[in-house]
């Protein structure tokens, strides 16, 4: 069920949410790991965790903020979206590497947001027509996503200046955050699939 449908008390036949729901759950996991690792007690410091906690009435486990939310959001992302164990292990590793104290948290989250925005913008620019492939070609779409991510990470020269500039920025983000090509592919692929479902649903409604 869509998190926001649940929030507003609407019934839906959808088994999973939309891109916004996926992004929120991902942010909840990031912020939960940060809260647990750094022993954060002020829930206002992790606003998405606060929203998630209230919405799903997640109890505080072991007196530690983020522990229950981390487990719950991880379970939802794995069950509803099919994310792998390695997806979460890389997030955990990235946060341990980059968030050693609370002063580094906001800059880290801003760094990830910039990485996500530039990566998705670049993927949209490079894949274009491939986004319009029928939904049942999932394996082909995943393979194309994987190849495009590999090109972004390894290709040094691009014909268009804006593409070259953004690809360079994404590689810099990747190195600082410590994410692998596999993680990037899994992250992007799920957003693409959800965006395609949203687009198809909107067309049907129109």
Specify the pLDDT at position 158.
Answer: 95
Specify the pLDDT at position 129.
Answer: 59
Q: If you count DSSP H runs as helices and E runs as strands, how many of each does the chain have, helices first?
A: 9, 0
CA–CA separation, 196 and 29 (whole Å): 24
Strand partners, 61: 64
Burial of 63 (0-12, 13-18, 19+ CB in 10 A): exposed
Specify the pLDDT at position 71.
Answer: 97
Q: Above 80 in pLDDT, residue 201? A: no
Average model confidence (pLDDT) for the chain?
88
Averaged over 141-160, what is the pLDDT?
95
Specify the pLDDT at position 177.
Answer: 98
74-87 per-position pLDDT tens digit: 999 999 999 999 99
């Amino acid at each position: 069920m869509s998190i926001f449908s649940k929030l507003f008390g609407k019934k839906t036949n959808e088994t999973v949410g939309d891109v916004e729901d996926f992004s929120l759950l991902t942010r909840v996991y990031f912020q939960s790991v940060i809260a647990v690792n750094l022993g954060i007690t002020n829930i206002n410091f992790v606003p998405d965790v606060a929203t998630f906690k209230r919405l799903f009435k997640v109890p505080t486990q072991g007196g530690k903020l983020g522990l229950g939310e981390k487990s719950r959001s991880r379970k939802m992302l794995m069950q509803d979206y099919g994310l792998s164990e390695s997806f979460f292990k890389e997030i955990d590793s990235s946060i341990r590497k980059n968030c050693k104290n609370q002063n580094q948290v906001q800059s880290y989250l801003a760094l990830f947001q910039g990485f996500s925005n530039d990566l998705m913008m670049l993927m949209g620019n490079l894949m274009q027509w491939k986004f319009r492939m029928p939904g049942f070609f999932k394996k082909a779409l995943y393979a194309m996503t994987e190849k495009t991510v590999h090109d972004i990470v390894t290709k040094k020269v691009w014909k268009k200046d804006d593409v070259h500039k953004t690809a360079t920025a994404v590689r810099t983000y990747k190195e600082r955050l410590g994410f692998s090509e596999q993680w990037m592919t899994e992250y992007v692929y799920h957003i693409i699939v959800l965006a395609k479902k949203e687009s198809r649903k909107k067309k049907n409604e129109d």
